[in-house]
A and B are shown apart, each in its own frame.
Chain A
Amino acid sequence: MKVEVQNISWGVEVQQIIKSIYLEAYPGELIGVIGPNGSGKSSLLRLIYRFYPPDAGAIYLDERDILTMSIKETARRMAVVVQERDNNFNFTVYEMVMMGRTPHKKLLDADTAEDDVIIRNSLEHVGMLSLAQRDFHTLSGGEKQRVLIARALAQHARVLVLDEPTNYLDLRYQFEIMELIRSLSITTIAAMHDLNLAAAYCDRIYLLKAGEVVAHGQPQDVLTAKQIKSVYGVDVEVEVRPSTGRLHIVFTKVHSS
């Protein structure tokens, strides 16, 4: 499914937080949205998954304006992994993933055997089937994130939106989660913190600064030393590792200006 964000703007009171952003994600692409704290990454995603109503502009899923759909219809097309990971209720892993079936249910519908198969498959896909009966809140950060991705899979959507999927995760889990997301091959838009991870896994990257897209394109075109310096205010060296062919960004010093 294709996602098209057209000139979207949003603000709180007089402060413009998202300024006329344009973004496209083609079927199967993994798009990274990067930028420093407060650059508008999360706000942009919240506009895409309809948590905030845009002040101007539009978002299309396969040429259809999402604001013309019900929220439920949107949820059948787009699954989201947000940063809400803690709650005060003790749901099991299985129950958490079952929530992914919510947009497919009418008022009187019960869980079916088909739902059960979907939940098991989703859990197996993220390697969490054996923990299905565990309490969600007893899991580690990486495990929680896997379960939330399983819930997104159970939603049977064709677009996946992830808000900093590797946040607070150990190194190993960061790579595991990114490998997992890469393996799904559905249209994905992910806000990311770690530039090296973004460079390694994303097809294309949008670089945000103060609510605007300052650069977009393939990782090697966006993540240049000059661009990173102007957006993040740090000096870096960017090199291509001969062993992997991957972009490698090394921090050298804080830019003082």
Chain B
Amino acid sequence: MGHAAAEQRSPPSERLYNIASRPRAGEEMEESDSGVKYLIGRSAGKSAVIAAFVATHVATMAGLWFGGVRLPQFNFNMLNGWLVLGLTADPVQTFVIGGILHYTSGIIWGVVFALIVHPALGRFIKPLAALTPTNNYIKGVLWGLVLWVISSAFWMPLLIDPLFGGGVVGPFLTKFGLNGVQALFANLLWHSIYGVNLGLLFSPTPAATRGSWRAASGVGVR
């Protein structure tokens, strides 16, 4: 009764925030069991999907803008579209279908990171064991580096090169069409952007941490 009365006294915007952020059935148990809170959502899976989607989108848009900073453009939507539809399909169709594939891949890599790699890194690298935003960030950056190696060593030379008849993509992306080794480092930049965003957004921290995001950012605090 006292709690309800206190809620009634708070301003409407705060009451709305409290209602929207209240755990639904089953979610409260999940949080209290794991003892971990997330920057987005209340479960590792939901947080991973949203963080990976944002990370993929930011990196994809950055890749399309690479030409503006004197770098080879990285259009992963078209590259994925060419893989399934071939080089002669309608460009808009190729971009859209390739985009769906590319975003799906980005989200799946993010979920693999969040549910498997993130906890494993904490287990195997002791300094990264604590769930702090900085450690979470470093893990995201490391995952970006791993994906850069996979993309440069396998995906580009083994899947993209044959599409163009061979000889277009060099080993470990040391050649990419007219571009030389700058393609390898532009790919590093692309995957670093992905890893940075993933590591910053997928950030599990102990639920008992003093000073929540709401308190520190002033939301709901007067």
| A and B pair up | no
Binding site for A on B (CB under 8 A): none
